[in-house]
A and B are shown apart, each in its own frame.
Chain A
Amino acid sequence: MRKIKKQKIYLLALLLPFILFVIGFEIGPLAAMIKNSFYADDGIQVTINQYLTIFKSDFYMKAIQNSLVISLISAVISVITAVIAAYSITKFSQKIQNRLLMITNMTSNFEGIPLSFSYIILLGNNGLFTLLFAKMGLDVFADFNLYSWTGLILVYIYFQIPLAVMLIYPSYQGIKKQWKEASSLLGGSKFSFWHRIGIPVLLPSIVGTFSILFANAMGAYATAYALVGSNYNLLSLQIASLVASDVALKPQLGSAMGVLLAVTMIGALWFNEQMMRRIRRDLR
Protein backbone atom coordinates (compact mmCIF):
# COMPACT_ATOMS: atom_id res chain seq x y z
CA MET A 1 0.00 0.00 0.00
CA ARG A 2 2.76 2.33 1.01
CA LYS A 3 4.67 1.63 -2.13
CA ILE A 4 1.73 2.65 -4.29
CA LYS A 5 1.34 5.88 -2.40
CA LYS A 6 4.99 6.69 -2.87
CA GLN A 7 4.68 5.96 -6.55
CA LYS A 8 1.77 8.35 -6.85
CA ILE A 9 3.87 11.10 -5.39
CA TYR A 10 6.56 10.51 -7.99
CA LEU A 11 3.96 10.60 -10.71
CA LEU A 12 2.53 13.83 -9.36
CA ALA A 13 6.00 15.33 -9.31
CA LEU A 14 6.25 14.57 -13.03
CA LEU A 15 3.17 16.73 -13.59
CA LEU A 16 4.85 19.69 -11.99
CA PRO A 17 6.50 21.20 -15.10
CA PHE A 18 3.19 21.22 -16.93
CA ILE A 19 1.44 22.88 -14.01
CA LEU A 20 4.18 25.49 -13.77
CA PHE A 21 3.95 26.32 -17.48
CA VAL A 22 0.17 26.58 -17.38
CA ILE A 23 0.30 28.87 -14.37
CA GLY A 24 3.20 30.92 -15.66
CA PHE A 25 2.11 31.43 -19.23
CA GLU A 26 -1.60 30.73 -19.45
CA ILE A 27 -3.60 31.25 -16.26
CA GLY A 28 -1.16 33.69 -14.68
CA PRO A 29 -1.11 36.19 -17.56
CA LEU A 30 -4.89 36.00 -17.94
CA ALA A 31 -5.41 36.63 -14.25
CA ALA A 32 -2.85 39.43 -14.30
CA MET A 33 -4.61 41.07 -17.21
CA ILE A 34 -8.05 40.86 -15.60
CA LYS A 35 -6.73 42.17 -12.31
CA ASN A 36 -4.78 44.93 -13.99
CA SER A 37 -7.85 46.10 -15.87
CA PHE A 38 -9.42 47.09 -12.54
CA TYR A 39 -6.63 49.44 -11.55
CA ALA A 40 -6.22 53.15 -12.21
CA ASP A 41 -3.35 54.39 -14.37
CA ASP A 42 -1.11 54.63 -11.31
CA GLY A 43 -1.52 50.89 -10.72
CA ILE A 44 -2.48 51.37 -7.07
CA GLN A 45 -6.07 52.46 -6.88
CA VAL A 46 -8.77 49.87 -7.55
CA THR A 47 -11.40 51.20 -9.93
CA ILE A 48 -13.58 50.37 -12.90
CA ASN A 49 -12.64 53.65 -14.53
CA GLN A 50 -10.66 51.96 -17.30
CA TYR A 51 -13.83 50.37 -18.62
CA LEU A 52 -15.72 53.63 -18.23
CA THR A 53 -12.96 55.42 -20.13
CA ILE A 54 -13.32 53.02 -23.01
CA PHE A 55 -17.09 53.34 -23.17
CA LYS A 56 -16.96 57.12 -22.90
CA SER A 57 -14.15 57.66 -25.36
CA ASP A 58 -15.20 58.22 -28.96
CA PHE A 59 -11.78 57.13 -30.08
CA TYR A 60 -11.79 53.72 -28.41
CA MET A 61 -15.46 53.09 -29.16
CA LYS A 62 -14.59 53.80 -32.78
CA ALA A 63 -11.80 51.21 -32.58
CA ILE A 64 -14.23 48.62 -31.24
CA GLN A 65 -16.81 49.59 -33.81
CA ASN A 66 -14.29 49.37 -36.67
CA SER A 67 -13.17 45.94 -35.50
CA LEU A 68 -16.74 44.72 -35.18
CA VAL A 69 -17.75 46.09 -38.58
CA ILE A 70 -14.70 44.75 -40.39
CA SER A 71 -15.15 41.35 -38.75
CA LEU A 72 -18.87 41.24 -39.54
CA ILE A 73 -18.46 42.29 -43.15
CA SER A 74 -15.54 40.00 -43.89
CA ALA A 75 -17.28 37.09 -42.15
CA VAL A 76 -20.58 37.62 -43.99
CA ILE A 77 -18.96 37.93 -47.41
CA SER A 78 -16.69 34.95 -46.80
CA VAL A 79 -19.50 32.74 -45.52
CA ILE A 80 -21.76 33.55 -48.47
CA THR A 81 -18.92 32.96 -50.93
CA ALA A 82 -18.02 29.72 -49.18
CA VAL A 83 -21.60 28.42 -49.14
CA ILE A 84 -21.87 28.91 -52.89
CA ALA A 85 -18.33 27.81 -53.71
CA ALA A 86 -18.46 24.72 -51.52
CA TYR A 87 -21.69 23.69 -53.22
CA SER A 88 -20.06 24.12 -56.62
CA ILE A 89 -17.10 22.08 -55.43
CA THR A 90 -19.39 19.16 -54.57
CA LYS A 91 -20.44 19.03 -58.23
CA PHE A 92 -17.03 17.85 -59.39
CA SER A 93 -15.54 14.37 -59.46
CA GLN A 94 -14.03 13.09 -56.25
CA LYS A 95 -10.50 13.50 -57.47
CA ILE A 96 -10.99 17.12 -58.42
CA GLN A 97 -12.83 17.80 -55.18
CA ASN A 98 -9.85 16.55 -53.22
CA ARG A 99 -7.52 18.67 -55.28
CA LEU A 100 -9.64 21.76 -54.78
CA LEU A 101 -9.70 21.17 -51.05
CA MET A 102 -5.92 20.85 -51.11
CA ILE A 103 -5.72 24.26 -52.75
CA THR A 104 -7.95 25.85 -50.13
CA ASN A 105 -5.98 24.16 -47.39
CA MET A 106 -2.74 25.38 -48.94
CA THR A 107 -3.88 28.96 -49.31
CA SER A 108 -5.32 29.02 -45.81
CA ASN A 109 -1.71 28.98 -44.64
CA PHE A 110 -1.01 32.17 -46.52
CA GLU A 111 -1.87 34.82 -43.97
CA GLY A 112 -0.44 37.51 -41.77
CA ILE A 113 2.62 39.48 -42.83
CA PRO A 114 3.38 37.51 -46.03
CA LEU A 115 -0.21 37.92 -47.20
CA SER A 116 -0.22 41.65 -46.58
CA PHE A 117 3.03 41.95 -48.44
CA SER A 118 1.60 40.05 -51.36
CA TYR A 119 -1.32 42.45 -51.57
CA ILE A 120 1.01 45.41 -51.32
CA ILE A 121 3.02 44.33 -54.36
CA LEU A 122 -0.15 43.56 -56.30
CA LEU A 123 -2.47 46.39 -55.32
CA GLY A 124 -0.37 48.86 -53.33
CA ASN A 125 0.57 52.33 -54.50
CA ASN A 126 3.14 50.93 -56.92
CA GLY A 127 1.48 47.55 -57.17
CA LEU A 128 1.61 45.48 -60.32
CA PHE A 129 -2.12 45.65 -60.96
CA THR A 130 -2.33 49.28 -59.96
CA LEU A 131 0.33 50.26 -62.50
CA LEU A 132 -0.91 47.86 -65.13
CA PHE A 133 -4.46 49.12 -64.99
CA ALA A 134 -3.30 52.72 -64.96
CA LYS A 135 -1.23 52.07 -68.10
CA MET A 136 -4.14 50.36 -69.78
CA GLY A 137 -6.19 53.41 -69.07
CA LEU A 138 -8.59 51.61 -66.79
CA ASP A 139 -9.16 53.61 -63.68
CA VAL A 140 -10.82 50.88 -61.61
CA PHE A 141 -8.07 51.25 -59.06
CA ALA A 142 -7.76 55.00 -59.36
CA ASP A 143 -9.79 55.58 -56.23
CA PHE A 144 -8.71 52.38 -54.58
CA ASN A 145 -6.39 52.64 -51.62
CA LEU A 146 -5.06 49.38 -50.21
CA TYR A 147 -3.94 51.02 -46.99
CA SER A 148 -7.47 51.85 -45.99
CA TRP A 149 -10.69 50.33 -44.83
CA THR A 150 -11.56 48.76 -48.20
CA GLY A 151 -8.05 47.38 -48.52
CA LEU A 152 -8.24 45.84 -45.07
CA ILE A 153 -11.60 44.23 -45.80
CA LEU A 154 -10.24 42.86 -49.07
CA VAL A 155 -7.29 41.20 -47.37
CA TYR A 156 -9.40 39.92 -44.47
CA ILE A 157 -11.80 38.32 -46.91
CA TYR A 158 -8.89 36.65 -48.65
CA PHE A 159 -7.70 34.86 -45.53
CA GLN A 160 -11.24 34.05 -44.38
CA ILE A 161 -12.51 32.39 -47.57
CA PRO A 162 -10.28 29.28 -47.58
CA LEU A 163 -11.08 28.66 -43.94
CA ALA A 164 -14.81 29.15 -44.55
CA VAL A 165 -14.78 26.72 -47.48
CA MET A 166 -12.99 24.10 -45.41
CA LEU A 167 -15.45 24.48 -42.56
CA ILE A 168 -18.62 24.51 -44.67
CA TYR A 169 -17.75 21.93 -47.31
CA PRO A 170 -18.12 18.92 -44.97
CA SER A 171 -21.68 19.86 -44.05
CA TYR A 172 -22.77 19.42 -47.68
CA GLN A 173 -21.85 15.77 -47.21
CA GLY A 174 -24.65 15.63 -44.65
CA ILE A 175 -27.25 16.37 -47.31
CA LYS A 176 -28.11 12.99 -48.73
CA LYS A 177 -29.01 12.45 -52.34
CA GLN A 178 -32.00 10.42 -51.18
CA TRP A 179 -33.47 13.47 -49.49
CA LYS A 180 -33.51 15.28 -52.82
CA GLU A 181 -35.12 12.28 -54.50
CA ALA A 182 -37.69 11.96 -51.75
CA SER A 183 -38.46 15.65 -51.93
CA SER A 184 -38.97 15.62 -55.70
CA LEU A 185 -41.01 12.39 -55.52
CA LEU A 186 -43.32 14.18 -53.14
CA GLY A 187 -43.67 16.97 -55.66
CA GLY A 188 -41.18 19.45 -54.22
CA SER A 189 -39.30 21.76 -56.54
CA LYS A 190 -35.60 22.40 -56.36
CA PHE A 191 -36.28 25.67 -54.65
CA SER A 192 -38.54 24.15 -52.04
CA PHE A 193 -35.94 21.48 -51.35
CA TRP A 194 -33.31 24.05 -50.49
CA HIS A 195 -35.79 26.30 -48.79
CA ARG A 196 -37.32 23.63 -46.54
CA ILE A 197 -34.59 21.01 -46.19
CA GLY A 198 -31.20 22.03 -47.53
CA ILE A 199 -30.72 25.43 -45.92
CA PRO A 200 -32.20 24.45 -42.53
CA VAL A 201 -29.83 21.48 -42.36
CA LEU A 202 -26.86 23.65 -43.31
CA LEU A 203 -27.84 26.54 -41.09
CA PRO A 204 -26.16 25.52 -37.82
CA SER A 205 -22.87 24.93 -39.60
CA ILE A 206 -23.20 28.22 -41.50
CA VAL A 207 -23.82 30.13 -38.29
CA GLY A 208 -21.04 28.24 -36.51
CA THR A 209 -18.58 28.98 -39.30
CA PHE A 210 -19.65 32.59 -39.24
CA SER A 211 -18.82 32.91 -35.55
CA ILE A 212 -15.41 31.29 -36.03
CA LEU A 213 -14.62 33.68 -38.86
CA PHE A 214 -15.86 36.59 -36.81
CA ALA A 215 -13.60 35.67 -33.90
CA ASN A 216 -10.74 35.06 -36.32
CA ALA A 217 -11.04 38.57 -37.71
CA MET A 218 -11.52 40.19 -34.29
CA GLY A 219 -8.26 38.72 -33.04
CA ALA A 220 -6.28 39.31 -36.25
CA TYR A 221 -3.28 41.50 -35.64
CA ALA A 222 -0.39 40.72 -38.00
CA THR A 223 -2.29 41.38 -41.22
CA ALA A 224 -3.60 44.75 -40.07
CA TYR A 225 -0.26 45.69 -38.55
CA ALA A 226 1.58 45.04 -41.81
CA LEU A 227 -0.98 46.77 -43.98
CA VAL A 228 -2.00 49.88 -42.11
CA GLY A 229 0.44 49.99 -39.19
CA SER A 230 -1.05 52.23 -36.56
CA ASN A 231 -2.76 54.45 -39.11
CA TYR A 232 -6.03 52.70 -38.75
CA ASN A 233 -8.11 52.51 -35.62
CA LEU A 234 -8.67 48.83 -34.85
CA LEU A 235 -9.14 47.18 -31.46
CA SER A 236 -6.20 44.80 -31.80
CA LEU A 237 -3.88 47.56 -33.02
CA GLN A 238 -4.96 49.85 -30.17
CA ILE A 239 -4.33 47.17 -27.56
CA ALA A 240 -0.88 46.57 -28.97
CA SER A 241 0.04 50.23 -28.91
CA LEU A 242 -1.28 50.65 -25.35
CA VAL A 243 0.84 47.85 -23.92
CA ALA A 244 3.90 47.67 -26.13
CA SER A 245 4.63 50.86 -28.00
CA ASP A 246 7.29 53.50 -27.44
CA VAL A 247 4.84 56.25 -26.65
CA ALA A 248 1.96 56.56 -24.21
CA LEU A 249 1.97 53.22 -22.47
CA LYS A 250 -1.27 52.62 -20.62
CA PRO A 251 -1.12 48.99 -19.57
CA GLN A 252 -4.26 49.19 -17.39
CA LEU A 253 -6.37 50.58 -20.19
CA GLY A 254 -4.83 48.05 -22.58
CA SER A 255 -5.73 45.27 -20.16
CA ALA A 256 -9.33 46.43 -19.99
CA MET A 257 -9.53 46.42 -23.78
CA GLY A 258 -7.86 43.01 -23.83
CA VAL A 259 -10.55 41.71 -21.48
CA LEU A 260 -13.26 43.08 -23.78
CA LEU A 261 -11.63 41.44 -26.81
CA ALA A 262 -11.26 38.11 -25.00
CA VAL A 263 -14.90 38.22 -23.90
CA THR A 264 -16.04 38.86 -27.48
CA MET A 265 -13.91 36.03 -28.82
CA ILE A 266 -14.92 33.53 -26.19
CA GLY A 267 -18.56 34.56 -26.71
CA ALA A 268 -18.28 33.92 -30.44
CA LEU A 269 -16.61 30.56 -29.91
CA TRP A 270 -19.14 29.56 -27.28
CA PHE A 271 -21.86 30.39 -29.77
CA ASN A 272 -20.12 28.17 -32.31
CA GLU A 273 -20.09 25.30 -29.87
CA GLN A 274 -23.79 25.66 -29.23
CA MET A 275 -24.36 25.52 -32.96
CA MET A 276 -22.15 22.44 -33.29
CA ARG A 277 -24.18 20.73 -30.59
CA ARG A 278 -27.30 21.46 -32.59
CA ILE A 279 -25.86 19.82 -35.68
CA ARG A 280 -25.06 16.75 -33.70
CA ARG A 281 -28.47 16.49 -32.16
CA ASP A 282 -30.26 17.06 -35.43
CA LEU A 283 -28.26 14.75 -37.58
CA ARG A 284 -27.17 11.95 -35.34
Chain B
Amino acid sequence: MKSLLSFHKALVGLLVIYLLIPLIGTFLFSIAGKWDHTILPESYTMKWYIELFQDERFFDAFQRTLFLIVMSVGLSIVIMLPTIFIITVYFSKWERLLQAAAMLPYGIPPIVGAVGLIKLYSNSLIPIAGTPWILIGAYFITILPFMYQGIRNSLRTINAVQLVDAAELLGATKFQAFRTVVFPNIISGILVSTLLSVALLFSEFALANLLVGGRFETLQIFLADKLNSSGHLTSAIVITYYSVILLLTGTVLKLTFKNEKNPAGKKKNRVLSLLRKQSRDKKFALEGENS
Protein backbone atom coordinates (compact mmCIF):
# COMPACT_ATOMS: atom_id res chain seq x y z
CA MET B 1 0.00 0.00 0.00
CA LYS B 2 2.78 2.34 0.99
CA SER B 3 4.70 1.92 -2.23
CA LEU B 4 1.49 2.60 -4.12
CA LEU B 5 1.06 5.94 -2.40
CA SER B 6 4.58 6.98 -3.22
CA PHE B 7 3.86 6.03 -6.81
CA HIS B 8 0.92 8.43 -6.83
CA LYS B 9 3.07 11.08 -5.17
CA ALA B 10 5.78 10.71 -7.78
CA LEU B 11 3.27 10.83 -10.59
CA VAL B 12 1.45 13.91 -9.39
CA GLY B 13 4.78 15.52 -8.56
CA LEU B 14 5.93 14.96 -12.11
CA LEU B 15 2.70 16.40 -13.48
CA VAL B 16 3.01 19.53 -11.35
CA ILE B 17 6.63 20.02 -12.34
CA TYR B 18 5.74 19.50 -15.98
CA LEU B 19 2.95 22.05 -15.78
CA LEU B 20 4.93 24.64 -13.87
CA ILE B 21 8.29 24.45 -15.65
CA PRO B 22 7.34 26.68 -18.60
CA LEU B 23 5.94 29.30 -16.23
CA ILE B 24 8.86 29.21 -13.86
CA GLY B 25 11.31 29.18 -16.75
CA THR B 26 9.70 32.23 -18.30
CA PHE B 27 9.63 34.01 -14.96
CA LEU B 28 13.31 33.32 -14.27
CA PHE B 29 14.19 34.38 -17.78
CA SER B 30 12.39 37.69 -17.25
CA ILE B 31 14.51 38.52 -14.19
CA ALA B 32 17.75 36.95 -15.38
CA GLY B 33 20.82 39.00 -16.17
CA LYS B 34 23.29 36.47 -17.50
CA TRP B 35 22.03 32.97 -18.05
CA ASP B 36 23.39 30.62 -20.63
CA HIS B 37 25.13 27.61 -19.21
CA THR B 38 23.89 27.09 -15.67
CA ILE B 39 20.73 25.60 -14.25
CA LEU B 40 19.77 28.82 -12.51
CA PRO B 41 20.58 32.35 -13.73
CA GLU B 42 23.97 33.70 -12.74
CA SER B 43 22.67 37.14 -11.97
CA TYR B 44 19.29 38.74 -11.54
CA THR B 45 18.05 42.08 -12.71
CA MET B 46 14.85 44.09 -12.98
CA LYS B 47 16.02 45.93 -16.05
CA TRP B 48 13.73 44.06 -18.43
CA TYR B 49 10.69 45.14 -16.47
CA ILE B 50 11.97 48.68 -16.24
CA GLU B 51 12.58 48.68 -19.96
CA LEU B 52 9.12 47.25 -20.58
CA PHE B 53 7.34 49.75 -18.40
CA GLN B 54 9.08 52.56 -20.22
CA ASP B 55 8.02 51.21 -23.57
CA GLU B 56 5.21 53.32 -24.93
CA ARG B 57 4.22 50.71 -27.47
CA PHE B 58 3.52 48.30 -24.64
CA PHE B 59 1.28 50.79 -22.86
CA ASP B 60 -0.51 51.69 -26.07
CA ALA B 61 -1.15 48.02 -26.77
CA PHE B 62 -2.32 47.50 -23.22
CA GLN B 63 -4.69 50.44 -23.52
CA ARG B 64 -6.11 49.18 -26.79
CA THR B 65 -6.76 45.78 -25.27
CA LEU B 66 -8.43 47.43 -22.29
CA PHE B 67 -10.52 49.59 -24.59
CA LEU B 68 -11.74 46.55 -26.52
CA ILE B 69 -12.51 44.65 -23.34
CA VAL B 70 -14.34 47.51 -21.64
CA MET B 71 -16.38 48.22 -24.75
CA SER B 72 -17.39 44.67 -25.54
CA VAL B 73 -17.97 43.50 -21.98
CA GLY B 74 -19.79 46.76 -21.20
CA LEU B 75 -21.98 46.40 -24.26
CA SER B 76 -22.62 42.80 -23.39
CA ILE B 77 -23.85 43.68 -19.91
CA VAL B 78 -25.97 46.59 -21.09
CA ILE B 79 -27.59 44.52 -23.83
CA MET B 80 -27.75 41.05 -22.31
CA LEU B 81 -29.17 42.01 -18.91
CA PRO B 82 -32.43 43.45 -20.22
CA THR B 83 -32.61 40.88 -23.01
CA ILE B 84 -32.35 37.87 -20.75
CA PHE B 85 -34.53 39.52 -18.13
CA ILE B 86 -37.29 40.34 -20.59
CA ILE B 87 -37.19 36.92 -22.20
CA THR B 88 -37.21 34.94 -18.96
CA VAL B 89 -39.90 37.09 -17.38
CA TYR B 90 -42.20 37.97 -20.28
CA PHE B 91 -41.47 35.79 -23.28
CA SER B 92 -40.49 32.51 -21.71
CA LYS B 93 -41.55 30.59 -24.83
CA TRP B 94 -38.49 32.05 -26.59
CA GLU B 95 -36.06 30.83 -23.99
CA ARG B 96 -34.86 27.88 -26.06
CA LEU B 97 -34.18 30.15 -29.00
CA LEU B 98 -32.22 32.57 -26.84
CA GLN B 99 -30.25 29.69 -25.39
CA ALA B 100 -29.41 28.31 -28.83
CA ALA B 101 -28.23 31.72 -30.05
CA ALA B 102 -26.20 32.28 -26.89
CA MET B 103 -24.52 28.88 -26.83
CA LEU B 104 -23.73 28.58 -30.53
CA PRO B 105 -20.40 30.47 -30.26
CA TYR B 106 -19.03 27.55 -28.20
CA GLY B 107 -19.05 25.43 -31.31
CA ILE B 108 -17.48 27.95 -33.64
CA PRO B 109 -13.72 28.38 -33.41
CA PRO B 110 -12.54 32.00 -33.78
CA ILE B 111 -10.82 31.15 -37.03
CA VAL B 112 -14.16 30.16 -38.57
CA GLY B 113 -15.87 33.21 -37.15
CA ALA B 114 -13.18 35.38 -38.70
CA VAL B 115 -13.73 33.89 -42.18
CA GLY B 116 -17.42 34.82 -42.10
CA LEU B 117 -16.83 38.27 -40.62
CA ILE B 118 -14.22 39.16 -43.21
CA LYS B 119 -16.55 38.05 -45.99
CA LEU B 120 -19.58 39.84 -44.58
CA TYR B 121 -17.92 43.18 -43.93
CA SER B 122 -15.49 43.52 -46.79
CA ASN B 123 -17.08 45.96 -49.25
CA SER B 124 -20.14 46.18 -47.06
CA LEU B 125 -22.32 49.22 -46.47
CA ILE B 126 -21.23 49.20 -42.86
CA PRO B 127 -17.59 50.28 -43.05
CA ILE B 128 -16.19 48.54 -40.01
CA ALA B 129 -13.84 46.04 -41.68
CA GLY B 130 -10.31 46.37 -40.33
CA THR B 131 -11.37 48.68 -37.50
CA PRO B 132 -11.63 47.96 -33.79
CA TRP B 133 -15.43 48.16 -34.09
CA ILE B 134 -15.67 44.86 -35.91
CA LEU B 135 -13.61 43.32 -33.12
CA ILE B 136 -15.97 44.66 -30.49
CA GLY B 137 -18.86 43.01 -32.31
CA ALA B 138 -16.96 39.76 -32.65
CA TYR B 139 -15.96 39.85 -28.98
CA PHE B 140 -19.56 40.47 -27.98
CA ILE B 141 -20.37 37.12 -29.59
CA THR B 142 -17.26 35.41 -28.17
CA ILE B 143 -18.27 36.12 -24.58
CA LEU B 144 -21.98 35.57 -25.19
CA PRO B 145 -22.07 32.02 -23.73
CA PHE B 146 -20.45 33.16 -20.46
CA MET B 147 -22.57 36.22 -20.01
CA TYR B 148 -25.71 34.33 -20.88
CA GLN B 149 -25.04 31.53 -18.42
CA GLY B 150 -23.96 33.90 -15.68
CA ILE B 151 -26.95 36.19 -15.99
CA ARG B 152 -29.51 33.43 -16.52
CA ASN B 153 -28.28 31.42 -13.56
CA SER B 154 -28.34 34.51 -11.33
CA LEU B 155 -31.88 35.32 -12.40
CA ARG B 156 -32.91 31.76 -11.62
CA THR B 157 -31.22 31.73 -8.24
CA ILE B 158 -33.12 34.77 -7.05
CA ASN B 159 -36.45 33.67 -8.60
CA ALA B 160 -36.64 36.81 -10.67
CA VAL B 161 -40.08 36.05 -12.09
CA GLN B 162 -41.74 35.82 -8.68
CA LEU B 163 -39.84 38.85 -7.44
CA VAL B 164 -41.08 40.97 -10.31
CA ASP B 165 -44.63 39.72 -9.87
CA ALA B 166 -44.47 40.66 -6.22
CA ALA B 167 -43.02 44.08 -6.96
CA GLU B 168 -45.68 44.79 -9.57
CA LEU B 169 -48.38 43.65 -7.19
CA LEU B 170 -47.09 46.21 -4.74
CA GLY B 171 -47.39 48.90 -7.38
CA ALA B 172 -43.92 49.11 -8.87
CA THR B 173 -43.42 49.53 -12.58
CA LYS B 174 -41.47 46.97 -14.56
CA PHE B 175 -38.45 49.21 -14.75
CA GLN B 176 -38.56 49.92 -11.03
CA ALA B 177 -38.86 46.24 -10.30
CA PHE B 178 -35.84 45.54 -12.43
CA ARG B 179 -33.73 48.39 -11.11
CA THR B 180 -34.46 48.17 -7.40
CA VAL B 181 -35.21 44.49 -6.85
CA VAL B 182 -33.64 42.34 -9.52
CA PHE B 183 -30.51 44.25 -10.43
CA PRO B 184 -28.97 44.65 -6.94
CA ASN B 185 -29.48 40.95 -6.32
CA ILE B 186 -27.68 39.66 -9.35
CA ILE B 187 -24.65 41.97 -9.47
CA SER B 188 -22.36 39.47 -7.80
CA GLY B 189 -23.42 36.70 -10.14
CA ILE B 190 -22.73 38.94 -13.10
CA LEU B 191 -19.38 39.97 -11.68
CA VAL B 192 -18.05 36.43 -11.95
CA SER B 193 -19.02 35.95 -15.57
CA THR B 194 -17.76 39.44 -16.33
CA LEU B 195 -14.33 38.68 -14.93
CA LEU B 196 -14.21 35.39 -16.80
CA SER B 197 -15.07 37.21 -20.00
CA VAL B 198 -12.37 39.79 -19.35
CA ALA B 199 -9.79 37.04 -18.84
CA LEU B 200 -10.92 35.31 -22.01
CA LEU B 201 -10.69 38.45 -24.12
CA PHE B 202 -7.35 39.33 -22.61
CA SER B 203 -5.86 36.24 -24.17
CA GLU B 204 -7.72 36.48 -27.48
CA PHE B 205 -5.42 36.46 -30.47
CA ALA B 206 -7.02 34.77 -33.49
CA LEU B 207 -9.84 37.26 -34.12
CA ALA B 208 -7.67 40.27 -33.35
CA ASN B 209 -4.94 39.12 -35.71
CA LEU B 210 -7.21 38.14 -38.59
CA LEU B 211 -9.74 40.95 -38.43
CA VAL B 212 -7.57 43.93 -37.54
CA GLY B 213 -3.94 42.83 -37.18
CA GLY B 214 -1.29 45.52 -36.99
CA ARG B 215 -3.79 48.30 -37.66
CA PHE B 216 -4.91 48.18 -34.04
CA GLU B 217 -2.16 46.54 -32.08
CA THR B 218 -3.53 44.72 -29.04
CA LEU B 219 -1.43 43.20 -26.31
CA GLN B 220 -1.50 39.75 -27.90
CA ILE B 221 -0.52 41.09 -31.31
CA PHE B 222 2.27 43.13 -29.73
CA LEU B 223 3.46 39.96 -28.02
CA ALA B 224 3.33 37.94 -31.24
CA ASP B 225 5.34 40.64 -32.95
CA LYS B 226 7.97 40.64 -30.20
CA LEU B 227 8.25 36.87 -30.27
CA ASN B 228 11.46 36.85 -32.20
CA SER B 229 13.14 39.86 -30.62
CA SER B 230 14.72 40.04 -27.17
CA GLY B 231 13.70 36.99 -25.21
CA HIS B 232 14.12 38.63 -21.82
CA LEU B 233 11.88 41.53 -22.67
CA THR B 234 9.24 39.24 -24.14
CA SER B 235 9.39 37.11 -20.99
CA ALA B 236 8.67 40.22 -18.98
CA ILE B 237 5.62 40.87 -21.17
CA VAL B 238 4.42 37.28 -20.78
CA ILE B 239 4.80 37.39 -17.00
CA THR B 240 3.07 40.77 -16.73
CA TYR B 241 0.25 39.50 -18.92
CA TYR B 242 -0.06 36.24 -17.03
CA SER B 243 -0.14 38.07 -13.68
CA VAL B 244 -3.18 39.98 -14.88
CA ILE B 245 -4.86 36.74 -15.94
CA LEU B 246 -4.06 35.13 -12.58
CA LEU B 247 -5.41 38.13 -10.74
CA LEU B 248 -8.65 37.93 -12.72
CA THR B 249 -9.17 34.19 -12.34
CA GLY B 250 -8.06 34.33 -8.71
CA THR B 251 -10.71 36.96 -8.03
CA VAL B 252 -13.27 34.78 -9.78
CA LEU B 253 -12.42 31.84 -7.54
CA LYS B 254 -12.55 34.00 -4.41
CA LEU B 255 -15.82 35.65 -5.34
CA THR B 256 -17.45 32.35 -6.07
CA PHE B 257 -16.41 31.06 -2.68
CA LYS B 258 -17.76 34.14 -0.98
CA ASN B 259 -21.07 33.90 -2.75
CA GLU B 260 -21.66 30.45 -1.39
CA LYS B 261 -24.20 30.95 1.33
CA ASN B 262 -23.28 27.98 3.50
CA PRO B 263 -19.63 28.28 4.49
CA ALA B 264 -19.76 25.18 6.65
CA GLY B 265 -19.48 21.85 4.96
CA LYS B 266 -18.96 20.76 1.44
CA LYS B 267 -15.89 22.64 0.43
CA LYS B 268 -14.89 19.85 -1.87
CA ASN B 269 -18.05 19.99 -3.88
CA ARG B 270 -17.83 23.72 -4.20
CA VAL B 271 -14.34 23.63 -5.62
CA LEU B 272 -15.35 20.79 -7.83
CA SER B 273 -18.43 22.33 -9.31
CA LEU B 274 -16.62 25.61 -9.72
CA LEU B 275 -13.70 24.09 -11.56
CA ARG B 276 -15.99 22.02 -13.67
CA LYS B 277 -18.07 25.02 -14.51
CA GLN B 278 -15.05 27.09 -15.32
CA SER B 279 -13.44 24.55 -17.55
CA ARG B 280 -16.79 24.02 -19.21
CA ASP B 281 -17.33 27.71 -19.61
CA LYS B 282 -13.90 28.32 -20.89
CA LYS B 283 -13.88 25.71 -23.53
CA PHE B 284 -16.94 24.82 -25.42
CA ALA B 285 -19.52 22.42 -24.21
CA LEU B 286 -22.62 22.66 -26.28
CA GLU B 287 -25.04 22.42 -23.45
CA GLY B 288 -26.36 24.77 -20.83
CA GLU B 289 -26.86 23.55 -17.33
CA ASN B 290 -30.33 22.23 -18.03
CA SER B 291 -30.31 21.27 -21.64
- Measured CB to CB, the residues of A under 8 A from B are 7-8, 11, 14-15, 17-18, 21-22, 24-33, 36, 81, 84-85, 87-89, 91-92, 94, 97-98, 100-122, 128, 131-132, 135, 158, 161-163, 165-167, 169-170, 173, 212, 215-216, 218-219, 221-222, 225-226, 236, 239-240, 243-244, 251, 254-255, 258, 261-262, 265-266, 269-270, 272-273, 276
Contacts and interface: CB of A to CB of B under 8 A. Distances in A.
A163 B283 contact: yes
Nearest to B35: A128
B25 interface: yes
Given A26-B141, A33-B119, A236 B12 contact: no
B205 A113 contact: yes
Contacts of B172: none
A63 to B, nearest CB: 13
A269 B285 contact: yes
Contacts of A15: 82-83, 86-87
B199 A269 contact: no
B161 interface: no
Interface stretch (B45-53, B152-160, B187-195, B264-272): B264-272
B33 interface: no
Nearest to A105: B275
A44 B138 CA distance: 27
Contacts of A87: 8
Contacts of A97: 268
A105 B203 CA distance: 15
Contact of B115 (A26, A104, A258): A258
Contact of B279 (A163, A239, A244, A273): A163
Given A98-B268, A261-B111, A216 B140 contact: no
Interface in B184-213: 199, 203, 205-206, 209-211, 213
Given A105-B253, A105-B278, A122-B25, 13 more contacts: A11-B86, A33-B119, A84-B11, A92-B12, A117-B227, A121-B26, A163-B279, A163-B283, A226-B227, A240-B209, A244-B211, A255-B115, A255-B116
B242 interface: yes
A21 B35 CA distance: 51
A158 B49 CA distance: 27
A108 B282 contact: yes
Interface of B: 5, 7-8, 11-12, 15-16, 18-23, 25-26, 29, 35-39, 79-80, 82-83, 86-87, 90-91, 101, 104-120, 122, 126, 137-138, 140-141, 144, 174, 199, 203, 205-206, 209-211, 213, 220, 223-224, 227, 231, 234-235, 238, 241-242, 245-246, 249, 253, 267-268, 271-272, 275-276, 278-279, 282-287
A14 B110 contact: no
13 contacts: A26-B104, A81-B15, A103-B20, A118-B25, A121-B234, A212-B284, A212-B285, A222-B206, A222-B220, A258-B111, A269-B285, A269-B286, A273-B286
B16 A100 contact: yes
The residue in A111, A117, A167, A236 that gathers the most chain B C-beta atoms within 10 A of its C-beta is A117
Nearest to A270: B286
Given A11-B86, A236-B111, A258 B116 contact: yes
B285 to A, nearest CB: 7
The residue in B199, B238, B283 that gathers the most chain A C-beta atoms within 10 A of its C-beta is B283
Contacts of B267: 94, 98
A98 B104 contact: no
A225 B107 contact: no
B61 to A, nearest CB: 13
